[in-house]
Amino acid sequence: MAEDIRAKIVDATMALAARRRFEDVTIRDIAAEAGVSLADFRDAFPSKGAVLGGLNRRIDREVLKVPLGELSSSSPRDRLFDVLMRRLDAMAPYRDGLREINGWLRRDPSALMAMNQLTVNSMRFMLEAAEIDADGPAAAVKLQGLALAWSRVMATWFDDSAPDYSKTMAALDRELSRGERLVGGLQRIETLTAPLRNFARAVSRRRETPAPDTAAESV
């Protein structure tokens, strides 16, 4: 029952976003569109922005529930390309609403920062779905870079009227090429700085080691 209410609220939010400026959409509007009470809305989501987090999780789940299959033996780049194209397919029913929300984010920097964190977390799972390591010393830089690349791909997707998303696919291909160069550079930096990191960890461990009890030693 609670899950059904959350789904109705997410659907209503996206329907309203496709028709109106998102900053003009109120929680009351969403509740009325979804056919739920304000109490039900409050139980489901703490804010209008949190509803977008619910949509994000829905899209993530649509992508993650589909295994790579035969693509598991292909290159990391091809695997990630496939995963991100599947993400666009999952987003397609909400494209009009997402286009308006994207405009709202440009008009509201604080909302943009919050949405960026949601995107970074989604990109972590997209990398995992593509069987690409999302951890390591440079993970934060890689994830933020992918999130920014994804925002540029979406900007192309919003205006791509071709049935096969040819412009979007070309944009994604370019962004993945840039990403490969970035990751290659980061890996070289990690290799060069590995001795320094190991030294810093050793120093840190030495500082954390308790000093011997000299009074006990003198007895």
Does residue 167 lie within any of the structural domains? yes
Which DSSP string corresponds to 82-116?
HHHHHHHHHHGGGHHHHHHHHHHHHH-HHHHHHHH
Does residue 175 lie within any of the structural domains? yes
Does residue 173 lie within any of the structural domains? yes
Domain containing 127 equals 70-204
Does residue 145 lie within any of the structural domains? yes
- What pLDDT digit, counting tens, does each position of 10-64 carry? 999 999 999 999 999 999 999 999 999 999 999 999 999 999 999 999 999 999 9
Percent of the chain predicted with pLDDT > 70 = 82
Does residue 62 lie within any of the structural domains? no
Does residue 198 lie within any of the structural domains? yes
Positive or negative: CA dihedral 178, 180, 183, 187: negative
Q: Which residues of the chain have pLDDT under 50?
A: 184-201, 203, 214-219
pTM, 2 dp: 0.79
**Do residues 44 and 9 touch, judged by C-beta distance below 8 A?**
yes
Domain count, the chain: 1
Does residue 92 lie within any of the structural domains? yes
Q: CA–CA separation, 191 vs 185, rounded Å?
A: 10
